[in-house]
Structure 1
């Protein structure tokens, strides 16, 4: 349950495990943010699925729309505001409970703090891995783009063109200087 999510999200792996054919997805190209920190996600498509809460003696079934993501995640699905509104649920994050009205009383769904913590750690580790791998790929691209050309390599390190001398420690009386370039790229 995610009280901050404006979407119901399901991962493609879960859809496959349920035996739902991906040809049932309605195309959607609207990106959204927040699944992976600082990155946008574009869903594979949208699917409507019947969802049931409760047991045989007291249950509710409604059809929910899910944005299906093609990359792996730590959860099977994320239920957001659309689910809460449709089922008229009341989440209690302190006790990790979700309550909703049904024909024979209140349905209560809950989990343990231990399980919640384990998923949180797994989710944070997974997000960090994705962000780190994407940052590494970006750094590799930048290094390739900034490979020095032959003209630049032919200059001697002592060349004064486009550089100036700066005191290393302005408060020191030694007067040691270093030469720095004045025409560096923004990167």
Structure 2
């Protein structure tokens, strides 16, 4: 749920050819690498044509077409940085949750249980069988258990 909304002037272009429109933004309380996201209503207000693959945006200006380009490598680097920041924030909040739960637990509940023996462990007295892999080379032998189940 948005906390509220705010209308701000947004300007694209250069001092000689620019375009300003008032855009309504919804304010949300969540961590993101983006400060603002322009959605379809904002692009429609600017009559902008985005090309997402090339990170390219075109719109009409008072003195011709405004072309806005972005650097793909720079955008990728910012995305990687945002993912790292989000991972650190998530890890920190996870540690806080674990510490809170651990503080509320009894000391008996915090004990590490003894490891149970694996049901897949082979029996102690296993007869092994050497088989030839069909090469005739004695160094190309494989060891298998003689007590395999029918499965």
**Shorter-chain TM-score range:** 0.5 to 0.7
Mapped pair 1:172 → 2:126:
no
Q: After superposition, give the CA deviation of every residue in 1:2-59 in whole Å (9 maximum; x if it has no partner).
A: xxxxxxxxxxxxxxxxxxxxxxxxxxxx25xxxxxxxxxxx4x421111111223332
**Aligned-residue CA RMSD (Å):** 3.1
By how many angstroms is 1:73 displaced? 5.2
Count of residues in Structure 1 that have an aligned counterpart in Structure 2: 121
Q: 1 or 2 for the larger relative contact order (CA 8 Å, sep ≥6)?
A: 1
> How far apart, in 1, do the equivalents of 2:19 and 2:120 lie?
74
> How far apart, in 1, do the equivalents of 2:53 and 2:122 lie?
58
Mapped pair 1:55 → 2:14:
yes
**Which ranges of structure 2 fall in alignment gaps of 5 or more residues?**
125-151
Match of 2:46 in 1: 87
By how many angstroms is 1:171 displaced? 6.1
Structure 2 length as normaliser, TM-score? 0.62
Match of 1:160 in 2: none
Higher Cα radius of gyration: 2
> How far apart, in 2, do the equivalents of 1:121 and 1:171 lie?
43
> How far apart, in 2, do the equivalents of 1:167 and 1:74 lie?
47
